[in-house]
Chains A and B, each alone.
Chain A
Amino acid sequence: MLSQRLIGRTAVRSAFKPSGLPSVVGASRWGRTYATEAETRDLVIIGGGVAGYVAAIKAGQEGMKVTCIEKRGTLGGTCLNVGCIPSKSLLNNSHLYHQILHDSKHRGIEVGDVKLNLKQLMKAKEQSVSGLTKGVEFLFKKNGVEYLKGSGSFQDEHTVKVQLNDGGETSVKGKNILIATGSEASPFPGLEIDEKRVISSTGAIALEEVPKKLTVIGGGIIGLEMASVWSRLGSEVTVVEFLDQIGGPGMDTEIAKNIQKILKKQGIKFKTGTKVVNGEKGSDSVRLNVDSAKGGKPESLDADVVLVAIGRRPYTQGLGLENIGLELDERGRVIIDQEYRTKIPHIRCVGDVTFGPMLAHKAEEEAVAAIEYIKKGYGHVNYGCIPSVMYTFPEVAWVGQSEQDLKKAGVNYRVGTFPFSANSRAKTNLDTEGLVKMLADAETDRLLGIHIIGPNAGEMIAEGTLALEYGASSEDIARTCHAHPTLAEAFKEAAMATYSKPIHF
């Protein structure tokens, strides 16, 4: 009798479960029995991007009760959904297409009619993205992370109100709260982004046809990667950059000049030191009025599509920071201390929404460190040793200081370079463009910066980052055996060139 009653009561409770509830991974918040105060979680994370999901998994591994709130509907944030990952898929496949079309003949491979199937190219991209985002969801389950699909905003210092994607509202309390809301593309004043004619990086990875003419505002990493993709697929691409060099302010000037020459040979046009005054959107084209940054003859550029890639800005919209009195700095970043704490110590912040370079791997490092600070009181991120990679062909990668940084700081340094044209593997691959450049302290030989242009620069920079993290000298690298024939030998030879002389150049 009693058991029958209990079953009946459970059934009634289930019947009253609100319909259309979000898919909640891990412990169910709807499974509670009577009307009790919501369980306080050890950690509530707002944002399921790279910073947020890594923090969630790490916290789960550390035995914390974690809730991660993400409004996109899929985990992984900008990086997995509309950033690093889809762009790499397009870069890789567009490179293959371009190589088959223009490069295979002199390698002794003759192919018939080569056609671009843009729809399939995009499908391949989407498959990579969905596979990876689902993988993160699986990792959430594996590590007991509760996943709420909705928009989180602070109600008070311990409570986050969640506007659920499927309708309805809930709130979640946390002993610790982590803000990991990331960033969004900065808009260009006066030029409204419609993701059709005027696009951001999100639109640039989802164009339905290859534009005849594409103008890119901003010659930073995102702008140049997208310029490469569409140029390889057949667009006439012009990059307009306000500064005198491409690649953004962090790239070594010598490297920037070098890659600009290489990309120019590939057919991309550059207008450096050029300011976009305004833009006019027509029915089927966009006109940009540009001017020399130092004052000069005005010019107009017409394009079918304009990509706005002038940088990214922190995303804190709708977060309810005003409810808890958290201030932002003049660039909209959440102000934190050395342990990622805001002025309210149990609320921490990592990733693009706070200080430091807006890079996914930097966000990951911070996420792990923030959890370690909460759990162990000690974490580690070396901000002097965060690599940057531009995935053009050849790739450009660097870590540490640039030559202009060292000159500005008045550091006495030595430079060693080694070109891939003198590397045996690069020769056999017929990919000889680029070089490895190393900068080391003139007195101690300690490595200060590594800059690479090369077909696998993004992979090779890992060795440089490790060396820099450990405080290696250029001689340490030079005396480490590298396999032959590999591109990595160029790295060793550049180190030899820094402390002594290279063998093969």
Chain B
Amino acid sequence: MFATKVLRQAAAHAERTPSIRFIGKRTIPASIDHSPKPHPASPTGSLPPSFTNGSSHSSFSVYRDHAQQFGPLRKTIKADSGIGGVPGSYLGPVEPPKGVFFDRNDLPARFHRQPLTAAEIEAIETGGAALVA
């Protein structure tokens, strides 16, 4: 009995264990550090400072120049960029100078009198009879 046990143990030690072993199904590690590190084939083994300061932009202003939201954000508003392109404060005071009055026609179109059609004029002139004639 004892001799067999010793032989078995000796055989177990003599058995070669290959370096290649099945280590199980590949899985994605539970925690991965995504912070930028030098590429393994990088000759310098280091990253430029622009990688490591957490942002590729030196300031918020620079970031905003590059930021995207339904297209690039416009930081600088230019005079030739149409309605809304120039801030209201640039357009001068809203109130008319003393003794000057705005004509209704100087106001935006929505404040103008509604134009009358020929049918409406006729309806008014005939006291509404033109509508049923």
A378 contacts partner chain B, Cβ-Cβ < 8 Å? yes
Contacting residues of chain B (14-56) with chain A, CB-CB under 8 angstroms: 16, 18-20, 28-29, 32, 34, 36-44, 47-48, 50-51, 56
Chain B interface (Cβ within 8 Å of chain A)? 16, 18-20, 28-29, 32, 34, 36-44, 47-48, 50-51, 56, 66, 68, 70-72
- Collect the chain A residues with CB atoms within 8 Å of residue B56's CB: 325, 343-345
A383–B70 alpha-carbon span in the complex (Å): 40
- Collect the chain B residues with CB atoms within 8 Å of residue A340's CB: 39
Q: What residue of chain A has the Cβ atom nearest to residue B71's Cβ? A: A37
A446–B19 alpha-carbon span in the complex (Å): 8
Q: What residue of chain A has the Cβ atom nearest to residue B26's Cβ? A: A380
Cβ 8 A contact of B43, one of A325, A355, A378, A381: A355
Chain A's nearest CB lies how many Å from the CB of B23? 9
Give the residue among A343, A357, A377 with the most B Cβ atoms within 10 A: A343
Q: What residue of chain A has the Cβ atom nearest to residue B53's Cβ? A: A343
Flag if A479 contacts B16 (CB, 8 Å): yes
Flag if B39 contacts A336 (CB, 8 Å): yes
Flag if B51 contacts A343 (CB, 8 Å): yes
A479–B71 alpha-carbon span in the complex (Å): 62
Q: How many residues of A contact B (CB 8 A)?
A: 37
Interface of A is mostly: loop
A244 contacts partner chain B, Cβ-Cβ < 8 Å? no
Flag if B19 contacts A472 (CB, 8 Å): yes
Chain A interface (Cβ within 8 Å of chain B)? 37, 156-158, 324-325, 327, 329, 335-341, 343-345, 354-357, 376-378, 381, 383, 445-446, 467, 470-473, 475-476, 479
Flag if B51 contacts A158 (CB, 8 Å): no
Q: What residue of chain A has the Cβ atom nearest to residue B42's Cβ? A: A355
Q: What residue of chain B has the Cβ atom nearest to residue A373's Cβ? A: B34
Cβ 8 A contact of A338, one of B18, B39, B44, B48: B39
Flag if A378 contacts B39 (CB, 8 Å): no
- Collect the chain A residues with CB atoms within 8 Å of residue B42's CB: 335-336, 355
A337–B47 alpha-carbon span in the complex (Å): 7
Chain B's nearest CB lies how many Å from the CB of A468? 11
A476–B20 alpha-carbon span in the complex (Å): 7
A471–B19 alpha-carbon span in the complex (Å): 7
Flag if B34 contacts A476 (CB, 8 Å): no
Flag if A376 contacts B28 (CB, 8 Å): yes
Cβ 8 A contact of B40, one of A156, A383, A479: A383
- Collect the chain B residues with CB atoms within 8 Å of residue A378's CB: 28-29, 32
A37-B70, A156-B68 given; A337·B19 CB < 8 A: no
A156-B66, A355-B41 given; A341·B36 CB < 8 A: yes
Cβ 8 A contact of B36, one of A324, A337, A376, A471: A337
- Collect the chain B residues with CB atoms within 8 Å of residue A479's CB: 16, 18
- Collect the chain B residues with CB atoms within 8 Å of residue A156's CB: 66, 68, 72
